[in-house]
Structure 1
Amino acid sequence: MADIIQLLPDSVANQIAAGEVIQRPASVVKELVENSIDAKATSITINIKDAGRTLIQIIDDGTGMSETDARLSFERHSTSKIRKAEDLFSITTMGFRGEALASIAAVASVDLKTRLANNDLGTHIIVEGSVVLSQEPASCSPGTIFTVKNLFYNIPARRKFLKSNTTEFGHILSEFERIALANPTVEFKLYHNESQLFSLPRTNERQRIVAIFGKKINQNLVAIEAETSIINVKGFIGKPENARKKSGEQFFFINNRFMRNPYLHKAIVNAYKNILQPDSVPSYFLFLEAAPDSIDVNIHPTKTEIKFEDQQAVWQIIHATVKQSLGKNNIVPSIDFDMEQGFEIPVLTKNTEIKKPFVEINPFFNPFDEKPGPAKNQNKSISSLEKENTANWEKLYDGFENEKNLTDDLSSTSQIESQQKLRESNFSGKYYQFKNKYILTPVKSGLMVIDQKKAHERILFEKFMFSLESNTGISQRTLFPKSIELAPKEHSILMEIIDQIKMLGFDISDSGNYCVTVNGLPADSSDQEPEQIIDKFLNEYLNTEIDIKTRAKEKIAQALAKAAAISSSQALTNEEMSELVDMLFACSMPNFSPFGKKIISILKTEEIEKRFS
């Protein structure tokens, strides 16, 4: 049999390696800007076109490279950061593997201009698909300019699977935020399609956070700091009343490197225990410092997963520091939530009479006797008992919430009947609200339980989708125009989709300086303030995972429906519950929310009767 194993050409090997390092335009931005940081740059300009598909340009005033280094930088595993394996345990630079430039050059056209400060001329190199097309001396400023064009031009499948420009640029903004937060002493400028989005001067950590996330966040920041022999912790945490049901303002940095660490995230969330709204996430910006040999950054190609030598000790330090800072700022009660709350024991004096403990019992109670003895209800009339029973009807369901296997899910094949049949399933017309969250109504087969928030989300979603498709959104004018200041990232995203949200009924315009003016809101956006509905909508939109191009309208409708829906704790009148149920069963898909969550469950009569048999 002939030999069939052969070495791959460098260009093919580089394309394969690029798949791990360069996943999308944001990966290119991350790698090139981190190179600028390692080159001691004090000013970095980032130019983006078409969310990085057409152009990514990074300009810095760093040390620059010699002609030999410039050419060698495009070879795989060529680096100035390490010399031997032991150096991996004392890394202080962002990069060290020597793979980034080779990977970028394998899947794009790269133009490099670089010059050392003490040289009169620099070097100009053009590489395309791992092939060096030209190399010549050039006149340029000290530092380095990388221009990357037509990303994934030679890998159509990879280019095809890029998301929409809004989504891809959102990832670029996320990478920009992380690098800018980790390096407040570096000046940053970011342009997209020739429009300046950020101009961040050199400053401190707090001012950099405010510059990126807007002035509103400044009042929400609580400083924390701790120095230990294992790790130093400093930074800021958010006040619990400002915690929101979103991610995006949670940042860990270790030795100026952004990292993801769900384990340490739990240390912070646990410190907020009992003072956060359900499902809310506190903001935090923590800058950790540890000896380089006590952490391992070489466990993932993106270098964002960091392993600590003593992770449990780090967890305890962060948890204690956050909890102490919350207590110092009178944000949490002084009691320790980890301990059970004790009984109130009065102070005893010498003359205090000590009473013997006793238990009050009802001597007439017999659990097997259907006729009650002279208990507390003995003297009550039947009519008064019926009234009390009606008033306390919800108490009958106190035990249901912790019971399992009581619900009979509505599947799309066996139990979801036609809308008309389901609506006519002997509804009693009586509605009860349980914990201001669920609507209960008797039906032919038992007791129907409806999640009121998810039901309202479905109703609004279908209305908004109709408005987007037909451009018939109705706007409800505000009493006065409302000016709202947004974070630069939020403003950029809103401007990308402003035409679509106007179709929904938003009367909104850009007023400059990351501000918008709201003159009207969608008629179905409930009674929320303009700032509140815009804030909720952007939070939901930025955190909605569905981002396929053909479903862009659906993503907008989903986000607005979730933002505008009634809350899970809102009390409803019987008329409001009846109207909500009627509108739900007029929807095309009344059984599931826009996010695929179940809206309706039925407690079958047989299941209820079993509980009392």
Structure 2
Amino acid sequence: MSAVNSTPIPTVATREIRVLPDQLISQIAAGEVVERPASVVKELLENALDAGAAQLQIKLDEGGVRRIVVADDGGGIPVEQLPLALTRHATSKIRSLDELESVLSLGFRGEALASIASVAQLTLTSRQQGAPHATAIDGHTGVLQPAAGGVGTTVDVRDLYFNTPARRKFLKSEQTEFGHCLDVIRRSALARPDVAFSVQHNGRVVEHWNIATPAQRVTRVLGEAFADAHLPIDEQAAELGLRGFAGLPTASRGRADQQYFFVNGRFVRDKLLTHAVRAAYEDVLHGERFPAYVLYLELPPQLVDVNVHPSKIEVRFRDARGIHQFVFHAVQRTLARAAGAGGATHAAQPAAAGGLEPAYGKSANPLSSHRPWVPQPMQQRALPVAQPLAAYDALFGRAAPIGPTADIPPAALAERGDSALANAADQHAQPLGFALGQLHGIYILAQNAQGLVLVDMHAAHERILYEQFKQALGAREVPVQPLLIPVTFFADPVEIGTVEEHRDTLAALGFDLAVLSPTTLAVRAIPALLDGADAQALARAVLADLRNYGGSRVLTERQHELLGTLACHSAVRANRRLTLEEMNGLLRQMEATERADQCNHGRPTWYQLTLADLDKLFMRGR
């Protein structure tokens, strides 16, 4: 076999050091700044907003690959400074290190226009107030010439990556690239509701947002679904401020596609901030669901470093822990204040009936400060008299029946309510009223001063158990209930090993599991709060959590998943027949439990139908 003759490529060590050509330097920088058409749109929008624009027009062709035009009505650029605008590291935003450390403008690096011009055909046209005409400069040749145009600046970018075809091959389809561009534009629109935006794609207007209030802009950009299911946030602590809108847990999404966080008006992707918000939702949102939110953090610019990455989408905080705690507690307080409103939203107002003051007074229970909400969907559509069970399941977000019958733990329903229908005064004293009966063994029907209350008994009991177990675990005082007859079951080697490895954690959780043989486990005790639950199923679920997360994480960062598992396995199940006394006991415990309006998976636990709503269904008074 003959060797292949080839000319050897000189190694780096054998090459002499040379200064790179300016064009190559710009193209290297463009690799960090201009990743795709959306990157170009972002940089041009930031420049336009920094220039004081009140109206922006964005035109895209073929997803921005063929053409991107961003026109603003800002202050414009002096004619003599147009060549400088296309020079690398030339900017009007900062002058010194001190200004860099306290920068409030969106742009400041002086790289964007030069980088874009190095990988595309760029024309910059600008005119200042009082100038006789606009002036255009060619990004490739630097030639200046008179042009038509009003006050402001227009940047026309054509044929992106025309001179670097290899980069162009990495771009996606036209619709995908347009989607990324539109997402960037939405971020800017959310950050600056005081600016009007108009977006065209292939000659067709696809979006137009007039100057509006923040709430109006959020509604226009994210849609009515978010507008009808969010909570306003306005928190202040010393120099920190957090404002915006947090989506209700009941309106969570399967993707993290409606999460917008702005720091001093700049959209950022920051793991610290994302974790803080997620942690605030942990008590009411589990599994693979994601909250939706638009949040604006304001703080002195000296406390945040925005010069972390050329894309300026990452930041670094001087006091990261303090920022995390502030955001976490601000969002958590907002969710806690809204809890108990029965799914209330910012857009929908509480029922017009008289206020309710629970018998237990103004306790920590959020039900004490909110009147039940009439669900908007019930107001918008007429329901047939014979409502099928599937429709009720859809109303409560239930995908399927909960599971096999299980006895309700006696301790959870120790409080008894009056089984007889209470008089009007009693109904005012209890926000959730008094039970009338059960529907299909799943829902409790109760009467209160406003009308009819529907309660998902499993979801409600799940929240009660969750909060009780969380308090006991937090105090490290989980009461234990020994089983009169230990429950034995077949176990695989992994489960056996998990028991032997995590005995201390199991004991802290209130479980006593014994290894009887290489294939047999025995449950000898379970937490007293979960008395009556399926001991075998409960033990297997806890062992699965310990195996997946580890003992220490289960007791710290994964505690919410574990508590959710325990509560779900122990809550009263579908088709469990309850007496009126048991139903009223559950209602009273809901009124005494924080966040009782949602189960720990984020589903609502109760809804209110007022007498007026019922009158509408039956066309009374018409």
Q: TM-score, normalised by structure 2?
A: 0.55
* Aligned twin of 2:144: 135
CA distance in structure 2 between the aligned counterparts of 1:309 and 1:403, rounded to whole angstroms: 36
CA distance in structure 2 between the aligned counterparts of 1:45 and 1:75, rounded to whole angstroms: 25
CA distance in structure 2 between the aligned counterparts of 1:255 and 1:358, rounded to whole angstroms: 53
From 213, 223, 240, the counterpart of 1:214 = 223
Deviation of 1:360 after TM superposition, in Å, equals 8.1
* Aligned twin of 1:163: 172
Partner deviation per Cα, 1:525-551 (whole Å, 9 max, x = no partner): xxxxxxxxxxxxxxxxxxxxxxxxxxx
From 43, 61, 67, the counterpart of 1:49 = 61
SS of residue matched to 1:185: coil
* Aligned twin of 2:290: 281
CA distance in structure 1 between the aligned counterparts of 2:545 and 2:312, rounded to whole angstroms: 43
Task: Give 1:87's aligned amino acid.
Answer: E
From 201, 205, 209, the counterpart of 1:196 = 205
Residues 1:117 and 2:124 are matched in the alignment: no
Q: 1:394 to 1:39 in 2, by over 3 A?
A: closer
Deviation of 1:266 after TM superposition, in Å, equals 1.5
CA distance in structure 2 between the aligned counterparts of 1:157 and 1:183, rounded to whole angstroms: 36
Task: Give 2:31's aligned amino acid.
Answer: G
Structure 1 runs, 4 residues or longer, greater than 4 Å off: 331-339, 357-363, 365-369, 391-400, 402-405
SS of residue matched to 1:23: coil
Superposed counterparts of 1:438-457, under 5 Å: none
Q: 1:394 to 1:325 in 2, by over 3 A?
A: closer
Ranges in structure 2 where 5+ consecutive residues have no aligned partner: 1-12, 342-364, 367-463, 474-479, 489-513, 518-533, 549-565, 567-622
Partner deviation per Cα, 1:154-188 (whole Å, 9 max, x = no partner): 00100111111122111111111111100100000
* Aligned twin of 2:81: 69
From 179, 201, 205, the counterpart of 2:214 = 205
Superposed counterparts of 1:77-88, under 5 Å: 77-88=89-100
Residues 1:241 and 2:250 are matched in the alignment: yes
Partner deviation per Cα, 1:425-455 (whole Å, 9 max, x = no partner): xxxxxxxxxx9xxxxxxxxxxxxxxxxxxxx
CA distance in structure 2 between the aligned counterparts of 1:226 and 1:273, rounded to whole angstroms: 20
From 251, 256, 259, the counterpart of 2:260 = 251
From 91, 97, 100, the counterpart of 2:112 = 100
Q: 1:337 to 1:56 in 2, by over 3 A?
A: farther
Partner deviation per Cα, 1:560-607 (whole Å, 9 max, x = no partner): xxxxxxxxxxxxxxxxxxxxxxxxxxxxxxxxxxxxxxxxxxxxxxxx
CA distance in structure 2 between the aligned counterparts of 1:191 and 1:283, rounded to whole angstroms: 27
Q: What percent of counterpart residues are identical?
A: 36
Residues 1:315 and 2:445 are matched in the alignment: no
* Aligned twin of 1:271: 280
CA distance in structure 1 between the aligned counterparts of 2:308 and 2:104, rounded to whole angstroms: 16
Partner deviation per Cα, 1:93-115 (whole Å, 9 max, x = no partner): 01011100000010111111110
Residues 1:13 and 2:22 are matched in the alignment: no
CA distance in structure 2 between the aligned counterparts of 1:251 and 1:358, rounded to whole angstroms: 47
1:239 touches 1:331 (CA, 8 Å); kept in 2?
A: no
Deviation of 1:392 after TM superposition, in Å, equals 11
CA distance in structure 2 between the aligned counterparts of 1:271 and 1:358, rounded to whole angstroms: 32
Q: 1:396 to 1:205 in 2, by over 3 A?
A: closer
CA distance in structure 1 between the aligned counterparts of 2:194 and 2:163, rounded to whole angstroms: 38
Task: Give 1:341's aligned amino acid.
Answer: Q
Q: 1:398 to 1:38 in 2, by over 3 A?
A: closer
* Aligned twin of 2:36: 24
Q: 1:200 to 1:393 in 2, by over 3 A?
A: same
Task: Give 1:323's aligned amino acid.
Answer: Q
Task: Give 1:340's aligned amino acid.
Answer: K
SS of residue matched to 1:340: helix
Task: Give 1:23's aligned amino acid.
Answer: E
CA distance in structure 1 between the aligned counterparts of 2:65 and 2:224, rounded to whole angstroms: 32
Residues 1:147 and 2:184 are matched in the alignment: no
CA distance in structure 2 between the aligned counterparts of 1:280 and 1:400, rounded to whole angstroms: 23
The CA RMSD measured in Å over matched residues stands at: 3.5
Deviation of 1:330 after TM superposition, in Å, equals 2.2
1:66 touches 1:123 (CA, 8 Å); kept in 2?
A: no
Task: Give 2:201's aligned amino acid.
Answer: H
SS of residue matched to 2:52: coil
* Aligned twin of 1:330: 339
Superposed counterparts of 1:591-610, under 5 Å: none
Q: 1:392 to 1:179 in 2, by over 3 A?
A: closer
1:55 touches 1:148 (CA, 8 Å); kept in 2?
A: yes
CA distance in structure 2 between the aligned counterparts of 1:56 and 1:22, rounded to whole angstroms: 13
Partner deviation per Cα, 1:488-516 (whole Å, 9 max, x = no partner): xxxxxxxxxxxxxxxxxxxxxxxxxxxxx
CA distance in structure 1 between the aligned counterparts of 2:515 and 2:337, rounded to whole angstroms: 53
CA distance in structure 1 between the aligned counterparts of 2:482 and 2:468, rounded to whole angstroms: 30
Aligned length: 371
* Aligned twin of 1:341: 471
1:230 touches 1:314 (CA, 8 Å); kept in 2?
A: no
Superposed counterparts of 1:359-374, under 5 Å: none
Deviation of 1:361 after TM superposition, in Å, equals 5.2
Task: Give 2:274's aligned amino acid.
Answer: H
SS of residue matched to 1:266: helix
CA distance in structure 1 between the aligned counterparts of 2:198 and 2:314, rounded to whole angstroms: 27
* Aligned twin of 2:401: none
CA distance in structure 1 between the aligned counterparts of 2:274 and 2:535, rounded to whole angstroms: 42
CA distance in structure 2 between the aligned counterparts of 1:268 and 1:191, rounded to whole angstroms: 34
Q: 1:342 to 1:107 in 2, by over 3 A?
A: closer
* Aligned twin of 1:297: 306
CA distance in structure 1 between the aligned counterparts of 2:180 and 2:135, rounded to whole angstroms: 31
Q: 1:25 to 1:265 in 2, by over 3 A?
A: same
1:66 touches 1:122 (CA, 8 Å); kept in 2?
A: no
Deviation of 1:227 after TM superposition, in Å, equals 1.2
Task: Give 2:470's aligned amino acid.
Answer: E
Partner deviation per Cα, 1:298-347 (whole Å, 9 max, x = no partner): 0111111111111111111111111111121225965995983359xxxx
Deviation of 1:192 after TM superposition, in Å, equals 0.6
Ranges in structure 1 where 5+ consecutive residues have no aligned partner: 344-356, 370-390, 406-434, 436-613
CA distance in structure 1 between the aligned counterparts of 2:32 and 2:279, rounded to whole angstroms: 34
CA distance in structure 2 between the aligned counterparts of 1:331 and 1:285, rounded to whole angstroms: 23
Q: 1:393 to 1:303 in 2, by over 3 A?
A: closer
